[in-house]
Every structure is written in structure tokens, then in C-alpha cells.
Chains A and B, each alone.
Chain A
């Protein structure tokens, strides 16, 4: 039990979030509890508007819940002690994001897209460049380090985006439809890669997905319906 506690990276208790008031009030999250352990890869499933992205935003320190506790890597956030700049720093240090459409900055090449995150974390230019190349090599896109995002294929761009998410060795990787823009073969490769990274870096991965082909790549599947986590399916 003590080991289990130590390894919990995301611990959410009784989190609720609503938008609007009165008749226009929408309850995006209702009393959500979720624990994710180091090395775990979990999926958030559910129809559109069920609250998946809201939950991702709450975990990603960009949306404060109305109620409940959120503990990330041992730190309690949203408890009135956190400034916006603190949350930004927390995102930079502990959370990596992988997007549906890679979201690489179009004016930076692959290497610099990764180096930017490291330089924001006060790493020297040389250190950032070296780490970026190391990550690109690790993800087998090192030969595309000087390519601009527009010159990369969908799979290459997503690997570069994953490399960027990993740059600061985050404990939490949040992925929003990471395979939606990829064919099934590449989707499988990307998911295998994320699983490998979670295991090697002792991080957890929380992905929002609709892609049934990759359900078997997750340790657990969580179903969200009308803002409630009503199902925890273990693969």
C-alpha cells in the first residue's frame, strides 16, 4: 500500500467543474475520482461533450475545478496558493502534451521545436540542442532534425511532437487524440512508443481517444458520460 501511494502520480478526488449559471449551467465534470500510477497508460473514452477534454485541462493545470482536490506528482494544486505563473512552471517541468495535430511551431525546425521547451526551462542552448537531437534519435527521426514541420510526414511530425512532450522528462504526459491523424499502422507504432516511454521514464500517460483500434494498448480505459467517470475497465 505504501508503494502504491508513492507511485501515484495523478490523484484526483471529487473534482467537479461547471460552466455558466442558472439555466445555461453545464456540468462538465461531476465528482470525478481518478488515480493514475507511474508507468501506467490510460485512456479517457466517451462521446463528444462528455467532459474528457475538461478533465484533461484540469489535469494539465489550465482549468481550475469548482470543487475537489487535484494532486500531481505529490503536489496539491488549485489550493489558492498557486499563481498562474506557478501553474505554468508546473506544466513546463512536469507535464508533456501531445496533440491531435502535433501543433509544432511552423517557424522552427524539428530540433528547435524541442530545444525551445528546454530553453524555456533555463537549459543552455548547447544543452538544449544536444538533448533535442538525442530525443529525435531515440524516436528514430534524428535524420529529420533540420526539417520544418511542413516538410514532415504525419507520423514524423507526431514523433517530433512526442519528443517535445518528453523534453523536460515530465512525470505526466497528456495526449489529446494522439493517433487521430494517423493511419492504423502508424497509430499502433505511436502508442507502442508512448507505452515504452511511460515504462522507461516512470511517467504516466493519459490519453483522450476515440480510436478503438488502439484500445488494447492501454492499461485501463475510463468512460466518461455526462461528466461522470462511470467505468474503469482493466485491459
Chain B
């Protein structure tokens, strides 16, 4: 006879209400895990998107994501000629704000050379850029759809295709345009600022021709580190392998946000443990007379421990299940990507299981201290 099940069934409404409260807490925990994953994934997606194996950037910088980098546009030709490099492309990155349908969109503009590395890999709707000017492929999160026109700088761009899950570490959706358009956009200043720059004699052409980085793909048998070492011999350039670039991004760009969310997650799990412990303790305290009766009629300790621990685990399991259901239903309404992997949910289930067993310890301790004599007398 399972006493835990019978007790839950007897107080089903109250149990479900408690589970609902706990499930909301679980949903918040899962949301934090999802936001954390989304943050890391978004940051890495933008680095992984060009499918590069080597990043060539300005000497002394850790660009183009962790720091600004500016190198001459003809660097690509020099890199492409290196032994071991199969193809190379120039690329620029810039965050802009643009008006669209009455809203202001923050967009992460990626400029790339058509037919060279750096462009969108998988267009999920519409097509890739085919014309050398004024076409763009946008991330679906931007809210743009194929056929839309949006003004960037002084030019109107037509959205020809959509990609998914391409955002920078701040969550701004990416748009892809040609390198030429991106360089024009980069150098398009407001007329008064332009006049000041001309008056100072600044070389516009030089600035227009600059790129943030050159990315390269290597031959199958080429060693990325040795190619990077070759590039570093040019004193004005730095080079990083793809793995180094990803590591750099995780360590510098998203590290603080990652630790912040990680700490918050820890606090949430602690709060969950305390809440579960208090619920179980309260449930146990309400049953002290019944526990005393059970002891008096000869129930062994394991029956009483089972009653408490099983209810605690059931509470955690139902809370986790509902919490997962809630977050799966609402995750697409979050402004930032909530990325939940099956192993995250499984890991949380494991943690909750441990938390429930540990949290029930308080209730078990109270129950084991109950004197069977308490059942006798009023």
C-alpha cells in the first residue's frame, strides 16, 4: 500500500496547487538555462556562420568581435595566396539602427564578398544575394520578410531571403549585405560630419576600403596554427584559428553575462531547494499525529521515510514536468533566444531529484523525532 500516493490522492487539489507554484519556479530556472544557452549559442553562431578556419585581424587587437579591427581591403589577396589557404574573403561587421514599419530595428550588418566565405550558409526562405548592390538576407528575428524594403544609410535595400539563429552576442539579429554596400554604409556619415572630415584632409578612400577581418578556409591537409604563424609575421596583422576565436568570444564577450546568469541560476536552484524543503516540512508537520499513529501501530521508519521522500520527489517531478511544459509553450515569446537542449532538462531533473531528496531530510528528521506516545491523548 503506497501511503504517499494515497495521501496525495486524498489532498489532490492542494498537491496540484503546490506543484503549480513549484512548476512556475522550475519554468524560471529552465528559462534562465535557455537564455544562458541562447546567449552562448548566438555568440558562437555568428563566429561559426562563415565556416572559417582562420581569422586575420588588425595587429594588437582581438577582433572583430571582442575588439574593433580595421585592416586594408587588399589583405584578402595576400592571405588567399598563402600556402595552405584554399579560399579567403573580406568581411565587415557593424551595428546599425534602422526605421522599419514605424519601429526602430537594431541590426548587426555583416558585409561579405559574393562568392567568397562569409555569407549566409542556409537561407530558409527566399534566396541568397545575387546582385552586387542593395539586396540583403536577414535573420528571421528581425521581423523582416522577403520582399520588404528597408533604408540603411542613404540607400534602400530589398530583403531577398531569411536565415535563422544568426544574432550577435547582444541579441541583435544579423543581416547580410555585400561587402561593397557594407563599406559604403560604414563610410556614409551625416553631411556635416562629412564636411568636417574633408576639411581635415582625411582620406575617404582608405577608410572606405577597410574591412574588419579576412577569413580563410584551408586545404584539407593544412595546419591552421602554422598558417596563422605565417600571417603573424606580417607585423600589421594578427591571426587566430577558429577554435581560438570561439574561445576568445566565450571568455571575453559573453563571459560576464554567462557568469551573471550562472550565479542567478545558482540562486534560483537554492531558492527552489528552500521552497521544496519548506513545503515538505510543512506537509510533514501537518501529519505529525498521523505519523505518531503509524509509529504506534508498528509502522517501521522506512514506511514513514518513504511517505515523505516519495511525496517530495513526486512534488519535484510534477513541478519539473509542468515547468518544462510552460517554458516550451512560451519560449518563443522571449525577446532573446531561449535554447533548451534535452540534456539541460534531464540535468535539471537530476538536480531537482537530488534537491527533493535532500530537502525532504528536514521533514524526515521531524517525522523520526515524533514520539509514538503523541498518538495517545487528545
How many of B's residues come within 8 Å of A, CB to CB? 25
Given A115-B1, A120-B303, also A107-B378 (CB < 8 A)? no
Residues of B within 8 A of A107 (CB): 3, 6-7, 9-11
* Per-residue contact bits, chain B 202-229, to A (CB 8 Å; 1 contact, 0 not): 0000000000000000000000000000
Closest residue of chain A to B371 (Cβ to Cβ) is: A62
Q: Which residues of A contact B10 (CB under 8 A)?
A: 106-107, 148
Contacts of A60 in B (CB 8 A): 296, 373, 376
CB distance from B151 to the nearest CB of A (A): 69
Judged by a CB distance under 8 angstroms, whether B156 is at the interface is: no
Min CB gap B306→A, angstroms: 12
A215 lies within 8 A of chain B by Cβ: no
Q: How far apart are the CA atoms of A176 and B377 in the complex, in Å?
A: 7
**Nearest-CB distance from A104 to chain B (Å)?**
8
Contact between A105 and B298, CB atoms less than 8 A apart: no
Contacts of B298 in A (CB 8 A): 88-89, 91-93, 117, 120-121
Contacts of A103 in B (CB 8 A): 289-290, 293, 375
A199 at the A/B interface (Cβ < 8 Å)? no
Closest to B376 in A: A176
Give Cα A28 to B286, complex, Å.
Answer: 29
Which residues of B have CB within 8 Å of A97? 296-297, 375-376
- On whether A53 and B3 interact (CB within 8 A), knowing A62-B296, A88-B300, the answer reads no
Considering the complex, which residues of chain A in the window 100-133 have a beta carbon less than 8 Å from any beta carbon of chain B?
Answer: 100-101, 103, 105-108, 112, 115-117, 119-121, 125
Tell me if A99 is interfacial: C-beta within 8 Å of chain B: yes
A201 at the A/B interface (Cβ < 8 Å)?
A: no
Does A56 lie at the interface of the complex (its beta carbon under 8 Å from any beta carbon of B)?
A: yes
| B294 sits at the interface (CB 8 A) | yes
If A103-B293, A107-B10 touch, whether A112 touches B376 (CB-CB below 8 Å) is no
- Is there contact, CB below 8 Å, between A91 and B376? no
Residues of B within 8 A of A100 (CB): 377-378
- In the complex, what residues of B have CB within 8 A of residue A92's CB? 297-298
Contact A105 B290, CB 8 Å, known A60-B376, A99-B375 = yes
Return the chain A residue nearest B297 by Cβ: A117
Which single residue of chain B is at the shortest CB-CB distance from A105?
B290
Q: How far is the CB of B131 from chain A (nearest CB, A)?
A: 74
Cβ of B84 < 8 Å from any Cβ of A? no
For the complex, what is the distance from the CA of A125 to the CA of B1, rounded to whole Å?
8
A57 within 8 A of B: yes
Q: Does A164 contact B (CB under 8 A)?
A: yes
Q: B100 to nearest A CB, angstroms?
A: 61
Q: Mark A160-177, 1 if CB is under 8 A from B, else 0.
A: 000010000000000011
Instruction: Bin chain A's interface residue count.
Output: 20 to 34
Q: Which of A93, A101, A106, A112 has the most CB of B within 10 A?
A: A106
A62-92 residues with Cβ-Cβ distance < 8 A to B are: 62-63, 85, 88-89, 91-92
Any chain A CB within 8 A of the CB of B299?
A: yes
Q: Are A62 and B1 in contact (CB under 8 A)?
A: no
B372 at interface by CB-CB < 8 Å: yes
CB closest residue in chain B, given A176: B376
B373: chain A residues at CB < 8 Å are 53, 57, 60, 62-63
With CB as the reference atom, state the residue of chain A lying closest to B11.
A107
Indicate whether B76 reaches chain A with its CB closer than 8 angstroms. no
Knowing A53-B376, A100-B378, A103-B289, the reply to whether A119 touches B294 (Cβ < 8 A) is no
Which residues on the B side are within 8 Å of A85 (C-beta)? 300
Judge whether A62 and B372 touch: CB under 8 Å: yes
Decide: A101 and B300 in contact? CB cutoff 8 A: no
Most interface-central of B11, B296, B376 (chain A CB within 10 A): B376
Interface string of B294-337 (1 = CB under 8 A from A): 11111110010000000000000000000000000000000000
Question: CA of A117 to CA of B1 in the docked complex: distance in angstroms?
Answer: 11
**Once the chains are docked, how many angstroms separate the CA of A120 from the CA of B297?**
9
Cβ of B375: which chain A residues have Cβ within 8 Å of it? 97, 99, 103
The answer for the CA separation of A83 and B80 in the assembled complex, in Å, is 85
- 7 additional contacts (CB under 8 A) given A107-B7, A112-B1: A89-B298, A101-B378, A103-B293, A105-B290, A117-B298, A120-B299, A148-B10
8 nearest CB pairs, A to B: A92-B298, A107-B10, A107-B7, A103-B293, A107-B6, A91-B298, A62-B372, A176-B376
Pairs across A and B, CB under 8 Å, 19 listed? A60-B296, A62-B373, A88-B298, A88-B299, A91-B296, A91-B297, A97-B296, A97-B297, A99-B293, A105-B3, A108-B3, A116-B3, A117-B297, A117-B298, A120-B297, A120-B303, A121-B298, A164-B297, A177-B378
